[in-house]
């Protein structure tokens, strides 16, 4: 009976040791190339828009390890978008030209909103930048009128 318990204890000790040695391995198939944070160059950090209009966030994103995802978030505009580049392209991208548009609700009453753009590489390193959206865009066409000049009489 004692021998049976000894074998059971040895089996459990072996299983726990094997799990600790192999269960914590890194499942990431993407090795680090430079180990640096991604770089992000956005076209602008201030966009003028208006209720019922569309704005576009554009920029160039780069990382030698490979970009895994891009996140755009603004709770006040109900914007919560994650672009998973590995899912879209099947592999991380070293360079990506971002062009993301968003339509502002026609009934939006806020004046200023901050969209946080976050780029994450395959190593889990990320960089963030804020883009200010203000509702002072000028979308009305100008109106021109001509004034009649009186005829001069001599």
Phi and psi angles of residue 132, each rounded to the nearest 5 degrees, phi first: -85, 125
Cα–Cα distance, 110 to 89 (Å, whole number): 36
Q: Please spell the DSSP secondary structure of the chain, one letter per residue.
A: -HHHHHHHHHHHHHHHHHHHHHTTS-------SS-PPPEEEES-SEEE--TT-EEEEEEEEEEEEEEEEEEEEEGGGTEEEEEEHHHHHSS-EEEEEEEEEEEPPTT---SEEEEEEEEEETTS-EEEEEEEEES----SPP----PPPPPP--
Kindly list the domain boundaries of the chain, sorted by start residue: 39-134
Which tokens belong to 50?
Answer: 């208006």
Q: What pLDDT does 147 receive? A: 73
d(CA 18, CA 7): 16
Residue 144's pLDDT is what?
A: 75
pLDDT for the residue numbered 25: 52
- Which residue is listed with tokens 């993407």? 30
Q: What is the pLDDT of residue 19?
A: 67
Nearest CA to 59 out of 80, 81, 42 is that of 42
The HSE-up count of residue 152 (CA atoms within 13 Å, CB side) is 1
Q: How many Cβ atoms from other residues are within 10 Å of residue 25's Cβ?
A: 7
CATH architecture designation of domain 39-134: Sandwich (2.60)
Mean pLDDT split into 10-residue runs, the chain, 154 residues = 66 68 57 83 95 95 95 96 96 96 94 97 95 83 74 70
């Amino acid at each position: 009976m004692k021998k049976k318990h000894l074998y059971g204890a040895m089996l459990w000790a072996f299983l726990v040791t094997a799990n600790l040695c192999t269960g914590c391995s890194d499942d990431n198939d993407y090795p680090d190339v430079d180990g640096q944070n991604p770089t992000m160059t956005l076209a602008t950090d201030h966009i003028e828009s208006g209720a019922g209009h569309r704005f576009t966030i554009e920029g160039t994103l780069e990382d030698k390890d490979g970009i895994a995802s891009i996140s755009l978030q603004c709770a006040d505009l109900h914007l919560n978008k994650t672009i998973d580049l590995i899912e879209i392209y099947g592999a991380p991208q070293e360079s990506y030209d971002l062009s993301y548009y968003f339509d502002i609700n026609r009934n939006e009453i806020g004046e200023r909103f901050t969209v946080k753009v976050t780029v994450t590489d395959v190593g889990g390193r990320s960089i963030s930048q804020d883009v200010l959206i203000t509702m002072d865009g000028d979308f009305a066409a100008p109106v021109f009128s001509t004034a009649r000049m009186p005829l001069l009489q001599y």
